[in-house]
Amino acid sequence: MNSISRRDFVRVAVSALVAATVLSAPEVASREVGGRRWAMFVDVSKCNGCMACVVACAAENNVPVGVFRTWVERHVLPGGRVVFVPKQCNHCENPPCVKPCPTGATYVAEGGLVLVDPSKCIGCGACIITCPYGARYFNPLTGAADKCTFCVHRIKLGRLPACVEACPTRARVFGDLSDPNSEIRKIVDSIQTKVLKPETGAEPQIYYHALPEVASR
């Protein structure tokens, strides 16, 4: 069996196992891991669909052609109004992608970030099929599952995620939800927000304002 067919075999075998049982996995961390809770606010009414965030993300994170860490959906509402809705990994508080990972490659890190350690990933795809948001993909460059990290390498240096920095309309606001003085905390406390698919229990941590029902799936 060559390396590609071995990977395919492992993927199918573990997918079947995941469907049949819940495997042991690291504990999901509490809301404020390391004293912080990184989150994002997206004001759909400010998004003009320019895609600067998508381009900046791809350049910053060497995202392969054909897959995306963040994408922008276009929806036409009754009456003809067009809205653009940016989406990506929600860094869920109760992430369905973590428990099925048989190797601990997908884990909850400081600040509630949900990350992947490529050195531990066997490419089984269990996390990809259990994410309710379609936020994950298989990265052929690393041979591992991949997705948005909230640009963890940048926030460790006190910088903003690339998508947030690139947005010309400030449709995206990033910050520490556990800090009562942060901009994101004040926004989320003061205006109406929604999350995607709340019924999943994943407790996603991207808070949308002016999100139309058609785009909440």
Site residues, ligand SF4 (CB under 6 A): 47-53, 72, 84, 86, 89-92, 95-97, 100-101, 103, 105-106, 114, 116, 121-127, 131, 133, 135-136, 144-145, 147, 166-167, 169, 171-172, 202
Length of the chain, please? 217
Minimum distance from residue 199 beta carbon to ligand SF4 (Å): 14
Minimum distance from residue 93 beta carbon to ligand SF4 (Å): 9
What are the distances in angstroms from CA 180 to CA 183, 190, 208? 8, 12, 19
Residue 178's contacts (CB-CB under 8 Å, 6 or more residues apart) are 31, 32, 35, 36, 37, 185
Residue 116 or 188: the one with the smaller Cβ distance to ligand SF4 is 116
Minimum distance from residue 97 beta carbon to ligand SF4 (Å): 3
Residue 123 or 180: the one with the smaller Cβ distance to ligand SF4 is 123
Residue 25 or 186: the one with the smaller Cβ distance to ligand SF4 is 25
Residue 48 or 216: the one with the smaller Cβ distance to ligand SF4 is 48
Minimum distance from residue 28 beta carbon to ligand SF4 (Å): 10
CA 149 – CA 69 distance, rounded (Å): 9
Helix (H) or strand (E) holding 82: strand 82-88
Residue 150's contacts (CB-CB under 8 Å, 6 or more residues apart) are 38, 40, 89, 91, 113, 161, 174
Residue 61 or 180: the one with the smaller Cβ distance to ligand SF4 is 61
Hey, what are 134's tokens? 């379609």
